[in-house]
Amino acid sequence: MGSDSKGVPTGVPGPADAREKNGLAPVNPTKEMKTAEELAAMIREDLSNVDGCPKLGVTVTVYGLNPWNSMLTFGAAAGPVRNKAELQRFCEIITSRLQRLYDIRT
């Protein structure tokens, strides 16, 4: 590895602002904004594709701001839910994925 005339090593990344000027994307991209209702609908949609997920009586509540979280509940209309723990885990996975992509718009 060499150095330029000012003694700065070549081949070493510079500060973040210099990288951005050279066309590289920032390390922390901006998250898209969604309402809590939009996020809850996205989670419900993904859950509805899981075998054994009841068609009725499933409620997803998105709460908090940034960070936000979700809660999955089953009402009487859902009937007996044999794979409740599996659906809860799947909801957590979906929520974690969406938290990386979206923030709450108030």
Per-residue pLDDT of the chain (106 residues; tens, 9 = 90+): 555 666 655 665 555 555 555 666 666 678 999 999 999 999 999 999 999 999 999 999 999 988 999 999 999 999 999 999 999 999 999 999 999 999 998 8
Burial class (CB in 10 A: 0-12, 13-18, 19+), 13: exposed
pLDDT at 33: 95
- Sequence-distant (6+) residues with CB within 8 A of 22 are none
Is 70:39 a contact under the CB 8 Å cutoff?
yes
Paired residues of 74 in beta bridges: 58
pTM assigned to the model: 0.71
Q: Which DSSP state fits 78? A: G
pLDDT for 23 equals 66
